[in-house]
Amino acid sequence: MYSPVSVTSSPSSSTLPTMVQLTTLSRNAGGTVAGVRVHAPGVDGVLDPAQERMALRLIEIGFVQGAQLRVIAFGQPGDDPIGVRVGGRGGISTFALRRQEASCVWVWPDKP
């Protein structure tokens, strides 16, 4: 008999993928977007409106949870900006993100 619900044991913490900031990936490294997270609010507990707009813009242009991405280039000097290709089946877009913007994008890196 078919059962629509299956019960499995919960995965151990060693099998869960580790999220990293996009800025930590090397050239040609790929991953899956885990989400966009802005830096902590100021001492008054209010989020900087500029950071909130930046996070919303990143989401609008395609850095949404589950999107595939690949780092394609680093600018010189200081590896700024970072060239990132995001998308998959629905289309692929290429962006140049400043390090500050890229540090807000968290990814699950592909296994080497």
Domain boundaries, the chain: 20-109
Map tokens 């995965």 to a residue: 11
Global pTM? Answer: 0.76
Decide which of 80 and 48 is more confident: 80
Model pLDDT for residues 22-39, shown as the tens digit of each residue: 999 999 999 999 999 887
42: left (phi over 0), alpha (psi -120 to 50) or beta: beta
The answer as to CATH 2.40.10.230 being correct for domain 20-109 is no
Query: What is the reported pLDDT for 9?
Result: 38
Which residue from 26, 39, 15 is spatially nearest to 70, judged by alpha carbons? 26
Model pLDDT for residues 50-106, shown as the tens digit of each residue: 888 889 999 999 999 999 999 999 998 888 899 999 987 777 899 999 998 999 999
